[in-house]
């Protein structure tokens, strides 16, 4: 498939100034602009032609900033809910599922929509790239990138906190081109990010870029493309649990492209994003009508993160304030930041499994719980067209049906290692 693929045509644009410029291969920022802003891909094709499901995620390649396709990807699957919809009293509930559910056509063997990012980001990578891609993650992102890079022989350095390495489960051994290094037990996601930033100061390594990477956002935007392709129109409401909020920014951007496409309506989906109580920093900022995340006590935040079940929703520096980020998306589209407790998410996850037939990730259960509450308190009406983004699921099913192996770390770093130590270690690994 890779050989026949013709690179997608696009130009880049600063969300802040509207300046347009070419992609230099891995452009993450607007050149010569002082104010921090996201940049966006403006695709040559205004009307998307969705290919058949055999293309995996690349069925949406018209709106992915890629010049090659990789093997074994899967696209998110959207279907009209019957069980859950009936129980909670909705007539137009569509579920977009990114996880493991082969019976429905969803084959994300790493179990979450982070795989959409990884296949898109790696499709943006030049085949001649000599440097090593660096990704820091607390779990699902690391698993997705490890899988995609291993399957496609792409050199990858993963930085993960040692306490999270249980998240690195796979159904086959990960190849040698992927190396895992960890920050020692007791450290957290921010220590892993710090390590990855130091690694990227070395000549041979470069950062993936997170929310700033157009390929990451447009990969996640395929959840919305899947929904609209299935439904035939843009939904009224979009429900998703957020840690960084990148998925919801991506949904908004896909929505803007779908309006310009002209065939699916003119409305913007209200972005109903959700967090796991008590870690609700974006709710606090949104309710205070503040672009900035409100000052927080770091010890308090760490304690809150220890409490929540949906750990992937624990980002303390989300791309919420940046121009083109979640604050702007929600101001433009409308919406709200909702919350669910651990008990509520556990109950919602159980209900989903009972009524729809598959287990879901705790984060996806947060989104489900907030949808149930929004129906009960009349925020959404029974005939509203609703997209529920189930961002992860089928993990238990996958583990039942497969033999699982774990990726082991090649090195354990102290919490704040010096650059010489890092260089010595990494030189031996790659
Ligand atoms: C399963 C799942 N759902 C939701 C999220 C939140 O995604 P984001 O806030 O990056 O859109 C994550 C992040 O890791 C995730 O793994």
DSSP string across 164-185: GGGG-EESSPPPTTEEEEEEPT
How many angstroms separate the alpha carbon of residue 37 from the centre of ligand 1? 21
Could you give the CA distance from residue 309 to residue 326 in angstroms, rounded to a whole number? 23
- The pLDDT of residue 77 is 98
Q: Is 312 in the pocket of ligand 1 (CB under 6 A)?
A: yes
Number of residues written out for the chain: 430
Q: Is 216 in the pocket of ligand 1 (CB under 6 A)?
A: no
CA of 364, closest atom in ligand 1:
3
How many angstroms separate the alpha carbon of residue 241 from the centre of ligand 1? 7
CA of 244, closest atom in ligand 1:
9
CA of 242, closest atom in ligand 1:
9
Could you give the CA distance from residue 276 to residue 348 in angstroms, rounded to a whole number? 13
CA of 137, closest atom in ligand 1:
14
Q: Is 271 in the pocket of ligand 1 (CB under 6 A)?
A: no
- The pLDDT of residue 416 is 85
- The pLDDT of residue 316 is 87
How many angstroms separate the alpha carbon of residue 315 from the centre of ligand 1? 10
Q: Is 213 in the pocket of ligand 1 (CB under 6 A)?
A: no
pTM above 0.95, yes or no: yes
Could you give the CA distance from residue 241 to residue 423 in angstroms, rounded to a whole number? 37
Digits of tens for pLDDT over the chain (430 positions)? Answer: 445 799 999 999 999 999 999 999 999 999 999 999 999 999 999 999 999 999 999 999 999 999 999 999 999 999 999 999 999 999 999 999 999 999 999 999 999 999 999 999 999 999 999 999 999 998 899 999 999 999 999 999 999 999 989 999 999 999 999 999 999 998 888 889 999 999 999 999 999 999 999 999 999 999 999 999 999 999 999 999 999 999 999 999 999 999 999 999 999 999 999 999 999 999 999 999 999 999 998 888 888 988 999 999 988 899 999 999 999 999 999 999 999 999 999 999 999 999 999 999 999 999 999 999 999 999 999 999 999 999 999 999 999 999 999 999 999 999 889 999 999 999 999 9
How many angstroms separate the alpha carbon of residue 276 from the centre of ligand 1? 12
Q: Is 397 in the pocket of ligand 1 (CB under 6 A)?
A: no
DSSP 3-state assignment of 262? coil
What is residue 409's DSSP assignment?
P
How many angstroms separate the alpha carbon of residue 247 from the centre of ligand 1? 7
The reply to whether omega before 278 is within 30° of 0 (cis) is: yes
Of the candidates 176, 223, 202, 214, the residue with the CA atom closest to the CA atom of residue 390:
223
Look at the domain 77-111+215-399 and name its fold. Rossmann fold (3.40.50)
DSSP string across 335-387: EEEEEE-HHHHHHHHHHHHHHHSS-B-HHHHHHHHHHHHHHHTTSS-TTS-EE
Best of 364, 392, 398 for a ligand 1 pocket test (most atoms within 8 Å of beta carbon): 392
Burial of 218 (0-12, 13-18, 19+ CB in 10 A): buried
Best of 38, 147, 242 for a ligand 1 pocket test (most atoms within 8 Å of beta carbon): 242
Inter-residue contact 168 to 147 (CB < 8 Å) = no
């Amino acid at each position: 498939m890779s050989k026949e693929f013709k690179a997608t045509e696009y130009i880049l644009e600063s969300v802040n100034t509207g300046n347009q410029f070419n992609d230099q291969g891995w452009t993450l920022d607007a050149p010569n602009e002082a104010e921090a802003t996201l940049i966006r891909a403006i695709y040559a094709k205004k009307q998307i032609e969705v290919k058949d499901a055999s293309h995996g995620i690349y069925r949406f390649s018209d709106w992915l900033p890629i010049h090659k396709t990789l093997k074994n990807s899967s696209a998110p699957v959207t279907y009209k809910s019957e069980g859950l919809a009936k129980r909670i009293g909705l007539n137009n509930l569509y579920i977009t599922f990114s996880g493991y559910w082969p019976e429905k056509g969803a084959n994300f063997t790493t179990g979450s929509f982070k795989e959409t990012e990884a296949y898109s980001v790696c499709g943006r990578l030049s085949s001649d790239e000599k440097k090593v891609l660096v990704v820091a993650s607390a779990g699902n992102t690391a698993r997705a990138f490890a899988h995609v890079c291993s399957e496609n022989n792409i050199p990858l350095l993963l930085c993960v906190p040692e306490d999270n390495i249980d998240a690195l489960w796979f159904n086959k051994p990960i190849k040698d081109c992927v190396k895992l290094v960890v920050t020692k037990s007791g450290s957290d996601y921010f220590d892993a990010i710090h390590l990855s930033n130091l690694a990227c100061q070395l000549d041979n390594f470069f950062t993936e870029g997170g929310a700033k990477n157009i390929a990451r956002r447009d990969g996640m935007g395929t959840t919305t493309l899947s929904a609209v392709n299935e439904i035939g129109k843009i939904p009224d409401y979009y429900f998703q649990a957020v840690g960084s909020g990148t998925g919801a920014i991506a949904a908004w951007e896909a929505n803007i492209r779908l309006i310009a496409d002209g065939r699916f309506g003119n409305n913007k989906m209200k972005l109903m994003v959700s967090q796991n109580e008590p870690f609700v920093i974006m709710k606090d900022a949104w309710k205070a009508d503040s672009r900035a995340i409100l000052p927080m006590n770091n010890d308090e935040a760490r304690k809150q993160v220890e409490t929540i079940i949906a750990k992937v929703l624990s980002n303390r520096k989300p791309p919420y304030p940046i121009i083109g980020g979640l604050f702007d998306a929600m101001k433009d589209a409308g919406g709200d930041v909702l919350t669910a407790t651990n008990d509520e998410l556990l109950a919602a996850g159980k209900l989903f499994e009972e009524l729809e037939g598959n287990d879901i990730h705790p984060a996806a259960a947060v989104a489900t719980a907030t949808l149930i509450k929004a129906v009960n308190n009349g925020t959404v009406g029974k005939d509203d067209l609703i997209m529920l983004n189930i961002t992860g699921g089928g993990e238990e099913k996958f583990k039942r049906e497969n033999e699982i192996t774990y990726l082991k770390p090649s090195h354990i770093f102290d919490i704040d290692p010096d650059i010489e130590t890092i260089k010595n270690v990494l030189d031996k690994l790659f």
